[in-house]
């Protein structure tokens, strides 16, 4: 992967019943079909209950499907969890790990996130490893140090540009309508790039996504920032036109 093709990823979080999810996926697939050749990759990450039907709807039309989390083990007595190979079986090629909502709601530490990413790699999935500081950390001038420490703890050995994507998502910008300025994003993405070059063979080719209140109106400016290789989109990924509008801003 010489040139970094932009990746526009929709994280549906805990939203959508069967009918809505299938309609949303079908709408996105229709947009892509109508557009023909595009310069970006599209990914949707539905809740676990919808992975199978959504995969069936988008099959063969160039929209990838991902899980929102996985367990570090392949199988076993882990009630409620989903293994990376189950995600593959259901049609996924990606999985998000270490999203800030899981770091917060489930107290997931960096070492667990690294184990999940390693398990994802072993199953053939590309892991989207999320990092990002809280508002208190940013206000204390610790954003760079927090992200560096999360990268160091969450990226497993064996990561490559083909099996790893990093998403920078400042926690204070997620779902708040408050997004980081292009200057804030440029500073952190440049630091992440420098870190990846040291840490991963081919680190200059790893895609780094920005996430946090990305919408059609700000996507163009954010996607133009150096080292921003796409977006991880929450709220605005739940409507076909909003999500497609963000993707189209990459052209
Ligand atoms: P948001 O969520 O776009 O709703 O801010 C982004 C994310 O959490 O991935």
pLDDT tens digits, one per residue of 154-189: 999 999 999 999 999 999 998 888 888 999 999 999
Number of domains in the chain: 1
Measured in Å, residue 177 CA sits from the centre of ligand 1 at 9
Does residue 143 belong to any structural domain of this protein? yes
> Which atom from ligand 1 is nearest to the alpha carbon of 214?
3
Kindly give the confidence (pLDDT) of every residue in the chain, 251 residues in length, as a single tens digit, with 9 standing for 90 and above. 457 999 999 999 999 999 999 999 999 999 999 999 999 999 999 999 999 999 999 999 999 999 999 999 999 999 999 999 999 999 999 999 999 999 999 999 999 999 999 999 999 999 999 999 999 999 999 999 999 999 999 999 999 999 999 999 999 998 888 888 999 999 999 999 999 999 999 999 999 999 999 999 999 999 999 999 999 999 999 999 999 999 999 87
Cα–Cα distance measured from residue 43 to residue 10, given in angstroms and rounded to the nearest whole number:
6
Does residue 184 belong to any structural domain of this protein? yes
Farthest-apart Cα atoms in the chain, separation: 47
| Candidate list 101, 108, 133, 169, residue with the active-site label | 169
Q: CA quadruple 232, 235, 237, 241: dihedral positive or negative?
A: negative
User: At 140, which CATH number?
Assistant: 3.20.20.70
The token pair that represents 40 in the structure block: 């970006």
Nearest to 93, CA basis, from 169, 27, 9, 153: 9
**Ordered DSSP codes for 18-33:** HHHHHHHHHHHHHHHH
Does residue 49 belong to any structural domain of this protein? yes
Does residue 85 belong to any structural domain of this protein? yes
Measured in Å, residue 76 CA sits from the centre of ligand 1 at 31
Does residue 182 belong to any structural domain of this protein? yes
Euclidean distance between the first and the last CA atom of the chain, given in angstroms as a whole number: 19
- Beta pairing partners, 167: 130, 209
Cα–Cα distance measured from residue 194 to residue 196, given in angstroms and rounded to the nearest whole number:
6
Which of 174, 178, 246, 247 is the best mutation target for the ligand 1 pocket, counting ligand atoms within 8 Å of the beta carbon and taking the most?
A: 174
Q: What is the model's pTM?
A: 0.97
Question: Quick check: is 108 catalytic?
Answer: no
| Candidate list 71, 99, 121, 189, residue with the active-site label | 99
pLDDT tens digits, one per residue of 44-71: 999 999 999 999 999 999 999 999 999 9
Nearest to 72, CA basis, from 108, 36, 44: 108
Tell the residue nearest (CA) to atom 2 of ligand 1: 234
Measured in Å, residue 12 CA sits from the centre of ligand 1 at 9
Does residue 15 belong to any structural domain of this protein? yes
Cα–Cα distance measured from residue 179 to residue 218, given in angstroms and rounded to the nearest whole number:
9
- Beta pairing partners, 9: 43, 232
The 8-class DSSP code of residue 221 comes to H
Does residue 1 belong to any structural domain of this protein? no
Does residue 137 belong to any structural domain of this protein? yes
- Asked whether the beta carbons of 91 and 52 are under 8 A apart, the reply is yes
> Which atom from ligand 1 is nearest to the alpha carbon of 96?
9
Domain coverage including residue 126: 6-248
């Amino acid at each position: 992967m010489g040139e970094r093709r932009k990746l526009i990823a929709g994280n549906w979080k805990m939203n959508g019943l069967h009918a809505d999810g299938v309609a949303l996926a079908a709408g996105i697939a229709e947009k892509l079909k109508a557009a023909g050749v595009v310069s970006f990759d599209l990914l949707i990450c539905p809740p676990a209950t919808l992975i199978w039907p959504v995969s069936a709807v988008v099959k063969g039309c160039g929209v990838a499907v991902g899980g929102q989390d996985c367990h570090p083990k392949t199988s076993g007595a882990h009630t409620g969890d989903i293994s990376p190979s189950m995600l593959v079986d259901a049609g996924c090629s990606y999985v998000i790990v270490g999203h800030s909502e899981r770091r917060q709601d489930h107290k997931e530490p960096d070492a667990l996130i690294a184990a999940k990413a390693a398990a994802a790699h072993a199953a053939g999935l590309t892991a989207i490893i999320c990092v990002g500081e809280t508002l208190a950390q940013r206000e204390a001038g610790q954003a760079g140090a927090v992200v560096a420490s999360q990268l160091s703890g969450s990226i497993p050995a064996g990561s490559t540009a083909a099996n790893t994507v990093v998403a920078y998502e400042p926690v204070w910008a997620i779902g708040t309508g408050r997004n980081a300025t292009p200057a804030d994003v440029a500073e952190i993405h440049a630091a992440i790039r420098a870190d990846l070059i040291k840490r991963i063979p081919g680190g200059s080719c790893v895609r780094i996504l920005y996430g946090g209140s990305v919408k059609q109106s700000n996507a163009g400016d954010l996607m133009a920032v150096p080292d921003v290789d796409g977006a991880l989109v929450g709220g605005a990924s739940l409507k076909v036109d909003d999500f497609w509008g963000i993707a189209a801003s990459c052209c």
